[in-house]
Structure 1
Amino acid sequence: MKRIALLKSLGVFLFGLLALGQVHAQMDDPVQWSATTKRIDASKFEVVISASIDEGWHLYSTKLPEGGPLPTSFSFEKPVGYKLIGNIKEVSKSKTEHDEIFNLDLSFFDGEAVFSQLIELESEEAPINITVEYQACYADKCIYLEKSISTVAKSSAPIEGAVTSIEGQGSEQTAVADSVQTEKIEVESATDTGKTEEQSLWWFFLVSFAAGLAGLLTPCVFPMIPMTVSFFMGKQQNRANAILNAFVFGISIVAIYTSLGLIVSLFSLGSDFANTLTSHWITNSIFFILFIAFAASFFGLFEIVLPGSLANKTDSKADRGGLIGSFFLALTTVIVSLSCVGPIVGALLVEAASGLGAKPIVGMFGFSLAFSIPFTLFAIFPSWLNSLPRSGGWMNSVKVFLGFIVLAFSLKFLLTIDQGYQLNLISREGYIAIWMAIFTLLGLYLLGKIKFKFDSDLQHVGVFRLFLAIASFAFVFYLLPGLFGAPLKTISGLLPPQSSQSFDLKSNQVIISQTTAPVADENSLCEEPRFADFLHLPHGLNGYFDYDQALSCAREKKKPLFIDFVGHTCANCKVMEAQVWSDPRVLERLRRDYIIVALYVDDRTELPESEWVTSARDGKVKKTIGKKNSDFQATRFNVNGQPYYVLLDNQEKMLAEPRGFDLDVEAFIQFLDKGVEEFKKRNQ
């Protein structure tokens, strides 16, 4: 009998993979800037600004026709001790080509570009701070960025010399500390962002690897292991050829799955695309229905199988043997396994798309590596097959067990729709109650009190099964206080926000205390926050949801501004609020020292037409709260991930290095204290 026919009788399986939060990811920065000064005579200096442009990218000229892209521009911040002579000049020769999109002749630089500005020194020494705004493009992708660069002019410098100040230097930095503060923060933030991104990729790889191992236990994958081994041993004349083909088989599985991740990476459309993919009601509705359907299938309601024609074609080619046969056997394995692991792969790719870059490739590589290793090892060491448990009733128990897990996690997709579109259909206690019911039924099933269609008779409860039942009931008891407002910090990223809790004993206590001790006027807001009817801050904090309104209040109250870039669908944002913001010391500082503004990057509420903004980054009109805030974060701070926390003074200058997802409470307190200290120093 054909292998495919045998596999169809085995059923299906799914293990849902969720709860990976988003981490902030640094955006493309293809141009590195530096500045130097050259003394021409007793008082005149030439400021030379150099740009190193990554291969494949081009930087636009300072002079472009109307209706084209944004030209490169330079602004010298508050000239003190010197004055500008004339305008900025292009030292490098630009290229000019006709651009089909703009239908204009445009000038640009590639590789490198040098610009020059004459100044006259009026003191012994003058720090020179320059802000450069530029647009860089690569093929059909363009970005808009703003960078700060600094140098210093000294009257004691030799005429033929130059004083160099490049972003990120240590001992060679000669500009005064205040002039390079913003620059230093930017470089340190980029380094910290890179470390966080690297850690996130490793974590995602490990979770994807674990998902691949789980996929091996599915009824349509597990029985393929001995059949695959028999294929290699039966088709080859000697063991060496069998081992070679086994390696080709394993590598082919990895290549096929990883190519899916590569496609997602190559065709990613930026941060807006990621937000749309992970928060759109259509995507989440599809996955919610898919997970419910697979859960019902696991419980024995029906069987899901892929069309056999596709698998039969690849299976027939696999029968040829040799290296080509090994590849087609791998392709057959992938096609047949998709009826079981397809939702796992889909969930991984959707989660990976939130990080973009290499994340989809890393996820699919980790999944496929775990998926292929057992096949390859058992093909090389066929005697190990004797240690494998035989297929039987235990596999249906595994399927039903994971059916409960899939059912529980399916609510995450429904929650994303509810929170993202402000439907307010699911309260926090209602969500927790459903989970309590699901895991109570799971515990009863593990003890043999519930039996499904294809279950074998349970003669006795094994030790491992008993431990799982205990864990399930323990989880139910852990959830119980959440019905009354307990934060449940461990799983806060999977639950609705605390603000959706309709019955909260803790908030009742806060209300009682507020009636006896009113909040001081200095901690009140300047005016009623916009969008407060549907947007809320956690832990009873007061704040704004519109940047301009918050900045105006910060200036009126003479307080620093705390910006929280957050998302309805951002699991890590909820974790930060539950585990870091909830600390009394953090709450005290936020209430006392800052004007808070929460900028939701995925809220779909449409703004009045008078508030629409045209992005300088991609040229598109941003019509919703989320798109406007997302574009503001990307354009202003060169970051597009959440959570992301920024401290600004009344002049919109950064007070400390911005922070992303980090559960170190002490570090967060130091971050807030540093912002207040720096704010006071600047306003003395």
Structure 2
Amino acid sequence: MTFKKNFLFSFIVIFFSLNLFAQVLEPVKWEFDIEKISETEFNLVFKANIEKGWYIYSQEQQSEESFAPTTYFEFQNMEGNYQLNGKTTEPDVPVIFDKIFQEDVKKFKDQAIFKQSITLIKKDLKQIDVTVDYQTCDDSKCIPSDFLFNFSLDGSEIVKDEIVLDERSKQLSEGLNLNVTGWDKYTEEVIEEKSNLSIFFLGFLGGLIALLTPCVFPMIPLTVSFFTKSASDPKKGLFNSILYGLFIFLIYAILSIPFHLLDTLDPGILNNISTNVTLNIIFFVIFIAFAFSFFGYYELTLPQSWSAAMDSRANKIGGFIGVFFMALTLAIVSFSCTGPILGTLLGSSLTADGGATQLTMGMSGFGLALALPFTLFAMFPKWLNSLPKSGGWLNTVKVVLGFVELALALKFLSNADLVEHWGLLKREIFIGLWIIISIALALYLFGKIKFPHDGPLQKLGKGRITTAILVIAFIIYLIPGLTNTKWANLKMLSGFPPPMFYSLYEKTSECPLDLNCKKDLEEGLALAKAENKPILLDFTGWACVNCRKMEEQVWSTSQVFDILMEDYVIISLYVDDKKPLEENNQFQYLRNNGTVKEIETIGDKWQTLQTINFKNNSQPYYVLLNHDFELLNTTKAYEPDADAYYDWLKTGLENFKK
């Protein structure tokens, strides 16, 4: 039962860990020992050495309603082998208030020693295995973790189910460690997700758009009227409306939590998911289906029995839980309109660089935007009179969203195309398809194209005309992207179309901006030595949006371009490259936690190399090195300020010359 609680707590605390997963953190180091009392009685000793500012929690909760995590020891293979004498002891510390969980808890800092007395049943037992399941927290975030202890009762060598790597795997694994030096000279940059706030607002914007769809908009006055008129007094109606909005927000925010669990199990897993060819093709197909649903050719809805069941429970139960089921009913009923927008949010988050963190921010923004009107209109019911009436304009919004979904679908097909090097969707073809979609949208707005649910268009409204003009301006902006000129770099769209070197036109190199780069570490190092230039180690990805923004918006500026071209050797390592390594270069890598990672593709190799040497798995990630792999400056992540990036490069060059 305790284990299941900890599993639930893992979901809850991950919600608070909004900036955790950019780097790999291990704040607790475990040691263990065994004290022999007699031939059959022993004390198992577990010692947790905890970094400053971090805590682990007691084995006991202070109340049944507590949501704080517990430390749980699982003693394996006990039956017929040994028995526990009493409970596992722990340090006696006072109860204090926890900032994360907003409740009184017992938690340990610096060092915590746990002991468990056991008595052997099987006297010749030689080994006991124990797993501890725990969470390490500071004042803002938590890390769910576990650790396996192997106790030898007779001093003999512990028998582990270890995977023995072959000599080739050992040798190739050792080759991934660059033994980077110079960390004492430069403080490692702590990577923060700078775009989290913007993702939140994009999610909020998505929620506002969802409000303007036929599935949601008519529900606002109906729901607000229900709460204000059915309640026994106005205050209760207002309270229920606020609670209804809060539950809507929580429902959408909690949907992102499982992705944090995936990120915890393997820091690189979301990158692998985002660049998975099959998943991107599935997203492409789903987005096409969403688009034609918005066009009105069919409706994508969740099973009607779901909404009926939720509605029935809301009516029967009442109170807080009844309001929750009403909120859940809205989420289910409105799926045909909110589903495509949520799909966009999910797909764009997983195929960008923020992964689960940005997904949480986006989903939270989306839920907040959906929830606000139900609360605000309940607080100020007179505002309902100012709402526009439902009508054909709602269908127009849906159709416009259909064209947007159609354009976004191409991004997922492009991701698959890039990582597999199919060459199907070169940059100019991608932009050309966007131009065709935009022209069709403009024709629709001018009334030249009709869809099933469109009524007769009497005249063009100001909204249609304004939107059509913006679409035409967008088409004009896209046209230079079809050329092989200096205007082809569409900086406002960096990261969405394929990179400029993935082109129908013949390029002098396959590097960004035709710079001189290598895509193999050994080749790049040899070139740097031959030309006596420092190395810019560029951890990038084919499907990395911020990488394209850096290349097309920062590297393209004159001063940055010149210093890169003349003074550096760029080694671009694509961590999502799905091209298989040659068979004799494929190997197994043994992680610190005892699990094995199969290194089968180019991306597997570079992703693992980045994690080993820099304890980091985000892209873009830049490192300046000399030929002995000594740091020349701090590491650098996404830096949209071209002047700051130039100064960073210039300082690294000066340190190299010294």
TM-score between both structures, scaled by the size of structure 1? 0.69
- Report the Cα distance in structure 2 between the residues aligned to 1:591 and 1:467, rounded to whole angstroms: 44
**Cα offset for 1:26?**
2.5
Matches for 1:389-404 after TM superposition, within 5 Å: 389-404=388-403
The answer to whether the 8 A contact 2:27-2:50 is kept is: no
**Cα offset for 1:393?**
0.8
Summarize the Cα distance change of 1:661–1:679 in structure 2 as closer, same or farther, 3 Å threshold.
same
- Report the Cα distance in structure 2 between the residues aligned to 1:316 and 1:93, rounded to whole angstroms: 50
1:281 aligned partner? 277
Answering whether residue 203 of structure 2 is matched by residue 204 of structure 1, we say: no
Partner SS state of residue 361, structure 1: helix
1:602 aligned partner? 576
Query: Which one-letter code corresponds to 1:325 in the other structure?
Result: G
**Cα offset for 1:317?**
2.1
Mean Cα deviation higher: 431-440 or 253-262: 253-262
- Report the Cα distance in structure 2 between the residues aligned to 1:351 and 1:608, rounded to whole angstroms: 32
Q: Equivalent of 1:568, from 542, 556, 574? A: 542
Query: Which one-letter code corresponds to 2:211 in the other structure?
Result: L
Answering whether residue 525 of structure 2 is matched by residue 546 of structure 1, we say: no
2:340 aligned partner? 343
- Report the Cα distance in structure 1 between the residues aligned to 2:500 and 2:525, rounded to whole angstroms: 26
**Cα offset for 1:313?**
0.9
Summarize the Cα distance change of 1:295–1:204 in structure 2 as closer, same or farther, 3 Å threshold.
same
- Report the Cα distance in structure 2 between the residues aligned to 1:674 and 1:407, rounded to whole angstroms: 45
**Cα offset for 1:361?**
3.0
1:238 aligned partner? 233
**Cα offset for 1:568?**
0.5
Summarize the Cα distance change of 1:186–1:96 in structure 2 as closer, same or farther, 3 Å threshold.
farther
The answer to whether the 8 A contact 2:207-2:366 is kept is: yes
Q: Which runs of 5+ in 2 are unaligned?
A: 1-18, 30-48, 58-110, 118-126, 137-142, 150-179
The answer to whether the 8 A contact 2:131-2:148 is kept is: no
- Report the Cα distance in structure 1 between the residues aligned to 2:616 and 2:382, rounded to whole angstroms: 53
Matches for 1:447-526 after TM superposition, within 5 Å: 447-485=446-484, 486-503=488-505
Answering whether residue 649 of structure 2 is matched by residue 663 of structure 1, we say: no
**Cα offset for 1:357?**
5.9
The answer to whether the 8 A contact 1:23-1:642 is kept is: no
**Cα offset for 1:345?**
2.4
1:186 aligned partner? 187
Answering whether residue 441 of structure 2 is matched by residue 445 of structure 1, we say: no
The answer to whether the 8 A contact 1:270-1:356 is kept is: no
- Report the Cα distance in structure 1 between the residues aligned to 2:378 and 2:283, rounded to whole angstroms: 35
Query: Which one-letter code corresponds to 1:237 in the other structure?
Result: S
2:254 aligned partner? 259
The answer to whether the 8 A contact 1:250-1:376 is kept is: yes
**Cα offset for 1:377?**
1.8
The answer to whether the 8 A contact 1:419-1:568 is kept is: yes
**Cα offset for 1:55?**
3.5
1:627 aligned partner? 604
**Cα offset for 1:282?**
2.1
- Report the Cα distance in structure 1 between the residues aligned to 2:628 and 2:490, rounded to whole angstroms: 39
- Report the Cα distance in structure 2 between the residues aligned to 1:180 and 1:408, rounded to whole angstroms: 46
Partner SS state of residue 637, structure 2: coil
Matches for 1:317-332 after TM superposition, within 5 Å: 317-320=313-316, 321-332=318-329
Summarize the Cα distance change of 1:587–1:386 in structure 2 as closer, same or farther, 3 Å threshold.
same
Summarize the Cα distance change of 1:219–1:678 in structure 2 as closer, same or farther, 3 Å threshold.
same
Matches for 1:30-429 after TM superposition, within 5 Å: 30=27, 52=51, 54-56=54-56, 138-139=145-146, 182-187=183-188, 189-190=189-190, 193-194=191-192, 197=193, 199-268=194-263, 269-320=265-316, 321-353=318-350, 354-356=353-355, 358-429=357-428
Summarize the Cα distance change of 1:439–1:382 in structure 2 as closer, same or farther, 3 Å threshold.
same
- Report the Cα distance in structure 1 between the residues aligned to 2:501 and 2:20, rounded to whole angstroms: 23
Summarize the Cα distance change of 1:575–1:26 in structure 2 as closer, same or farther, 3 Å threshold.
same
- Report the Cα distance in structure 2 between the residues aligned to 1:350 and 1:450, rounded to whole angstroms: 29
**Cα offset for 1:319?**
2.4
Mean Cα deviation higher: 235-244 or 552-561: 552-561
**Cα offset for 1:238?**
1.3
2:623 aligned partner? 646
Summarize the Cα distance change of 1:347–1:479 in structure 2 as closer, same or farther, 3 Å threshold.
closer
- Report the Cα distance in structure 2 between the residues aligned to 1:106 and 1:242, rounded to whole angstroms: 53
Partner SS state of residue 536, structure 2: strand
2:176 aligned partner? none
The answer to whether the 8 A contact 2:268-2:617 is kept is: no
Summarize the Cα distance change of 1:105–1:553 in structure 2 as closer, same or farther, 3 Å threshold.
farther
Partner SS state of residue 195, structure 2: helix
Query: Which one-letter code corresponds to 1:275 in the other structure?
Result: N
Summarize the Cα distance change of 1:229–1:456 in structure 2 as closer, same or farther, 3 Å threshold.
same
The answer to whether the 8 A contact 2:24-2:267 is kept is: no
TM-score between both structures, scaled by the size of structure 2? 0.72
- Report the Cα distance in structure 1 between the residues aligned to 2:135 and 2:548, rounded to whole angstroms: 43
Q: Which whole-Å deviations, capped at 9, do the CAs of 1:573-632 have from their partners, x for residues lacking one?
A: 111111111223323222221222110000011112432351545542322110110111
Summarize the Cα distance change of 1:218–1:93 in structure 2 as closer, same or farther, 3 Å threshold.
closer
Matches for 1:669-680 after TM superposition, within 5 Å: 669-680=646-657
Partner SS state of residue 499, structure 1: coil
- Report the Cα distance in structure 2 between the residues aligned to 1:23 and 1:297, rounded to whole angstroms: 38
> What is the aligned-residue RMSD (CA, Å)?
3.2
The answer to whether the 8 A contact 2:284-2:413 is kept is: yes
Q: Which whole-Å deviations, capped at 9, do the CAs of 1:186-217 have from their partners, x for residues lacking one?
A: 34x12xx23xx2x3221221111111111111
The answer to whether the 8 A contact 2:301-2:335 is kept is: no
Summarize the Cα distance change of 1:413–1:378 in structure 2 as closer, same or farther, 3 Å threshold.
same
2:158 aligned partner? none
Summarize the Cα distance change of 1:621–1:561 in structure 2 as closer, same or farther, 3 Å threshold.
same
Query: Which one-letter code corresponds to 1:328 in the other structure?
Result: F
- Report the Cα distance in structure 2 between the residues aligned to 1:23 and 1:473, rounded to whole angstroms: 42
Summarize the Cα distance change of 1:267–1:570 in structure 2 as closer, same or farther, 3 Å threshold.
closer
**Cα offset for 1:107?**
13
**Cα offset for 1:649?**
0.6
- Report the Cα distance in structure 2 between the residues aligned to 1:394 and 1:344, rounded to whole angstroms: 18
**Cα offset for 1:642?**
0.8
Summarize the Cα distance change of 1:601–1:111 in structure 2 as closer, same or farther, 3 Å threshold.
closer
**Cα offset for 1:250?**
1.1
Mean Cα deviation higher: 625-634 or 336-345: 336-345
Summarize the Cα distance change of 1:180–1:538 in structure 2 as closer, same or farther, 3 Å threshold.
closer
Count residues with an aligned counterpart: 511
Q: Which whole-Å deviations, capped at 9, do the CAs of 1:18-38 have from their partners, x for residues lacking one?
A: xxxx99923324269xxxxxx
Q: Which whole-Å deviations, capped at 9, do the CAs of 1:364-402 have from their partners, x for residues lacking one?
A: 222111111101222333322111111111111111111
Partner SS state of residue 571, structure 2: strand
Summarize the Cα distance change of 1:410–1:111 in structure 2 as closer, same or farther, 3 Å threshold.
closer
**Cα offset for 1:329?**
0.8
**Cα offset for 1:335?**
1.2
- Report the Cα distance in structure 1 between the residues aligned to 2:596 and 2:564, rounded to whole angstroms: 36
**Cα offset for 1:481?**
1.0
The answer to whether the 8 A contact 1:223-1:391 is kept is: yes
- Report the Cα distance in structure 1 between the residues aligned to 2:576 and 2:438, rounded to whole angstroms: 31
Query: Which one-letter code corresponds to 1:450 in the other structure?
Result: I
Query: Which one-letter code corresponds to 1:299 in the other structure?
Result: F
1:5 aligned partner? none
**Cα offset for 1:652?**
0.2
1:584 aligned partner? 558
Partner SS state of residue 537, structure 2: strand
Summarize the Cα distance change of 1:97–1:359 in structure 2 as closer, same or farther, 3 Å threshold.
farther
Summarize the Cα distance change of 1:615–1:554 in structure 2 as closer, same or farther, 3 Å threshold.
farther
Q: Which whole-Å deviations, capped at 9, do the CAs of 1:71-91 have from their partners, x for residues lacking one?
A: xxxxxxxxxxxxxxxxxxxxx
The answer to whether the 8 A contact 2:632-2:656 is kept is: yes
Q: Percent identity at matched positions?
A: 41
1:27 aligned partner? 24
Summarize the Cα distance change of 1:107–1:240 in structure 2 as closer, same or farther, 3 Å threshold.
closer
**Cα offset for 1:462?**
2.1
Partner SS state of residue 348, structure 1: helix
